[in-house]
Structure 1
């Protein structure tokens, strides 16, 4: 599950939940109460990865970096859906990244934003706070409603309950 790379061992905050098939490599810090689910790979080998508190990385997702150029940052209370690829990007707090989405190098998803399932967020794209981006390539679709923004935090909280059930 945890693999040192070039003498750097992943660091886990208190109460992090990792299933046995999750692989975490190298310069990775994961904040308290975050969860990595089945067949997730978080590979901080040629740059670093930081995952905040109470975030969940769901089944089959891959988190990687750009060599010597772009680390990957995932904020607090983030939901990363099944089979997502995050590569050398920055994800703010309370975001939802839909199933199968790909977020590429130097892209930034600001706080309280949503990327739709299957979206391709191309290099350098800015997903502004309070918006929904969808499509391939991903483009602005609309502003999020107040209910949807509240739901972003609720999604992360749901995963805290799932962790409790698995334990």
Structure 2
């Protein structure tokens, strides 16, 4: 759902997909090919939220800010399930892990990976291509070319999702067990797996 607030209405490029169970309020700009999942709360009531092309904001994420601030998700930013971004900048092609929290005035450099459940404190400046984990978050190593390739491939799946959702998504009533039939469909050409270092 979209909500106007104080004369500001969200602006969404038509190539993006915002799930109707997401709440997008006020001064929010959503670029091309963005996926916003159900349960996401993107609240531009006190400042501006800019979500650039090719980003994804997954289920149950919260994006908000203090009065007068701006949140910027740069191109290709990947915000994992349940993460919170509050008044921060997320650099180009970053991955923010599930249930991570990025606090006010933090600046996550381009091509960083922030681990699941990590906390990046207020005002922290994270250099490009850093891996950050823990609470409080600490830089533990650099993002390797292999890690960055894995991240970029995962984000590409989400960058394709808005078009797929627009083409083949619709509300429905569930089947009863006796009505269910095997689903015949095209098998994926390639299986995407979790980062091997997390196994």
- Please indicate the TM-score interval, normalised by the length of the shorter structure: over 0.9
RMSD (Å) for aligned C-alpha atoms = 1.1
Q: CA deviation at 1:165?
A: 3.9
Q: Which residue of 2 aligns with 1:58?
A: 58
Deviates more, 1:153-162 or 1:98-107: 153-162
Q: CA deviation at 1:144?
A: 1.1
CA radius of gyration, larger in: 2
Q: Which residue of 2 aligns with 1:146?
A: 145
More strand by share: 1
Q: Which residue of 2 aligns with 1:32?
A: 32
Q: CA deviation at 1:153?
A: 2.1
Q: CA deviation at 1:92?
A: 0.8
Partners of 1:83 and 1:99 within 8 A in 2 = yes
Q: Which residue of 2 aligns with 1:79?
A: 78
Q: Mark the runs of 5 or more structure 1 residues left unpaired by the alignment.
A: none
Partners of 1:27 and 1:45 within 8 A in 2 = yes
Q: Which residue of 2 aligns with 1:90?
A: 89
Whole-Å Cα distance in 2 between the matches of residues 6 and 155 of structure 1?
Answer: 37
Whole-Å Cα distance in 1 between the matches of residues 141 and 24 of structure 2?
Answer: 35
Whole-Å Cα distance in 2 between the matches of residues 73 and 160 of structure 1?
Answer: 18
Deviates more, 1:115-124 or 1:5-14: 5-14
Partners of 1:78 and 1:153 within 8 A in 2 = no
Q: CA deviation at 1:74?
A: 0.3
Q: Which residue of 2 aligns with 1:116?
A: 115
Q: CA deviation at 1:164?
A: 4.0
Whole-Å Cα distance in 2 between the matches of residues 5 and 165 of structure 1?
Answer: 30
Whole-Å Cα distance in 2 between the matches of residues 87 and 130 of structure 1?
Answer: 21
TM-score (structure 1 length as normaliser): 0.95
Q: Mark the runs of 5 or more structure 2 residues left unpaired by the alignment.
A: 167-199
Q: CA deviation at 1:160?
A: 2.5
Whole-Å Cα distance in 2 between the matches of residues 119 and 139 of structure 1?
Answer: 9
Deviation string for 1:34-89 (max 9, x for gaps)? 01001001000001000000100000000001112x31100111110000000000
Residue 17 (structure 2) pairs with residue 17 (structure 1): yes
